[in-house]
Chain A
């Protein structure tokens, strides 16, 4: 049984790992950027500009007009209406449009925040979910789920692949014990605090 199982699980481990490799590298590098913000410039480049929409639009209609007429993309978020002014954002991982729309005249001022490579890594790290208005962000959400499941698959297959290797078993048990005591132990200690 072991002879048949090992090559199968090794192939599953290899395939899952290679499919996920760029995603895992993205998560790893962006995690370091979160912990050490001085290591990379993750600030967006901001450009302000203006356009004209039809007057009297509701926020959702104004957002849709920007999408259809100007090709802007993203989820509609943070709608605020105050003092005759409508403000909202169109959000996608790489670009956030901050919109100030005057319903009385249709005058629209926009601030486009666009992230470079380093910032994009951080934004992809925090993007998830299947509830977005943008189909591409939802597709990314599915991939995040797939890669996350892949990580669990990598862990479980990896555990088996390690254990059947006699040479690495002893030191491996020590490493695993450190992980459980230090990692799992502090998780439990914090939860019951």
Chain B
């Protein structure tokens, strides 16, 4: 039984290895990064494309038509409540995606596009938070969210099997015992103070 638990622990960790590395890296990044408003924003790339806006579409339908034709492949449809208008009354479509933000402003005869690409660490932060709750028609995003789901279950499985292995194999290890008490005490103290 112990051997089985050990094997489960090992195989779960190897299966989710890529995600676990991401979780560790972005945890360190989140610790060291300044607050959001103080982070340097990536420079935006701007360009225009000709576009004749159909007159018979409402904002939501127009936004979806524009997104499908000109938006980044990893963007999702924008709900009505998130659509904006510029002070000049033009429809502004903000497409948030794992690689950054693409803003499209619809003029009568052209589209004005502005793309800000997230840095590598911010990209990892975004994908770690992209879950099966975020539906997408893009195969890459779908494949990722299911891998991420597997990684989360694996993380829990690893933690639980790891605790079991400690209790059955290494309970007399003094350092490990002290570490478990210390870690638990610190967590519970923080929980109590931050509540």
Residues of A within 8 A of B (CB): 11, 14-29, 31-32, 34-37, 92-95, 114-115, 120, 124, 127-131, 136-137, 139-145, 147-149, 151-152, 154-155, 158-159, 162, 165, 168, 171-172, 175-176, 178-180, 182-184, 186-187, 189-191, 193
Contacts and interface: CB of A to CB of B under 8 A. Distances in A.
Nearest to B131: A35
B182 interface: yes
User: Of A23, A137, A180, which is in contact with the most chain B CB atoms at under 10 Å from its CB?
Assistant: A23
B133 A94 contact: no
B30 A144 contact: yes
Contacts of A16: 179
B24 A155 contact: yes
Given A21-B163, A21-B183, A28-B156, 12 more contacts: A15-B175, A18-B179, A32-B152, A165-B10, A168-B7, A175-B14, A179-B14, A182-B143, A183-B144, A184-B18, A193-B138, A193-B140
Contacts of A179: 14-19
B42 to A, nearest CB: 14
A21 B184 CA distance: 8
Given A182-B147, A191-B99, A21 B180 contact: yes
Nearest to B3: A167
Contacts, number: 205
B1 interface: no
Interface of B: 7, 10-11, 13-28, 30-35, 38, 72-74, 98-99, 123-124, 127, 129, 131-133, 138, 140-141, 143-144, 147, 149, 151-153, 155-156, 159, 162-163, 166, 170, 173, 175-176, 179-180, 182-184, 186-188, 190-191, 193-195
Nearest to A153: B24
Contact of A152 (B21, B73, B175): B21
Contact of B159 (A28, A93, A94, A187): A28
B31 A120 contact: no
B31 A158 contact: no
Contacts of B163: 18, 21
B129 to A, nearest CB: 8
A34 B186 contact: no
A155 B72 CA distance: 34
Contacts of B10: 158, 162, 165, 168, 172
B34 to A, nearest CB: 6
Contacts of A15: 175-176, 179
A128 B15 CA distance: 27
Contacts of A20: 183
A75 B162 CA distance: 36
A186 B152 contact: no
Nearest to B155: A28
Contact of A22 (B11, B74, B187): B187
Given A139-B190, A180-B18, A31 B30 contact: no
A187 B179 contact: no
17 contacts: A17-B162, A18-B166, A19-B182, A25-B156, A95-B195, A144-B27, A145-B27, A145-B28, A145-B32, A149-B28, A155-B24, A158-B13, A168-B7, A175-B14, A190-B74, A190-B140, A190-B144
Given A176-B14, A191-B123, A145 B31 contact: yes
Contact of A128 (B30, B138, B188): B30
User: Of B33, B38, B176, B190, which is in contact with the most chain A CB atoms at under 10 Å from its CB?
Assistant: B190
Contacts of B173: 11, 14
Given A19-B182, A140-B190, A190-B127, A25 B159 contact: yes
